[in-house]
Amino acid sequence: MVVHLLVTTTTPNRESGANLATSALSAHLAATSQLIGPLDSFFWHLGENGTGEEWNVTFKTTDARYAELEAHIVENHPWKKPEVTAVEIVRGTDAYLRWVEEATTDRSSSG
């Protein structure tokens, strides 16, 4: 059974979020991505409360592609320790979930 995931990260600006979204799609690590923002974020950082403007990027993928997507996000993210979280999509239309699987098929080994 294929596990489908919603993967999330945040970025400091629209440009870096758009770069992550499009590069993940180009590599077939995600079937789709959305960029939402700006958002007001409130967080702990270096032992203090912090606030800032961030952009939220979400990706739809499969568990089989998660490790590569995570590595891609971390490698191409402007922050040293970016948020990368995933939650399982427990329900969805069959046609949509099949499309996610097809869109994220690893094409590097096909000839």
Tokens of 8: 């999330």
Tens digits of per-residue pLDDT, 65-76?
999 999 999 999
Asked if residue 110 has pLDDT above 60, the reply is: no
Domain boundaries along the sequence of the chain: 4-103
**Which H or E run contains 86?**
strand 85-88
> CA-to-CA distance for 6 and 110, rounded, in angstroms?
26
| Residues 109/43, Cβ–Cβ less than 8 Å | no
Tell which residue, 59, 73, 71, has the closest CA to residue 20.
73
Tens digits of per-residue pLDDT, 10-53?
999 999 999 999 999 999 999 999 999 999 999 988 899 999 99
**Which H or E run contains 31?**
none
For the structural domain made of 4-103, what CATH number should be given?
A: 3.30.70.120
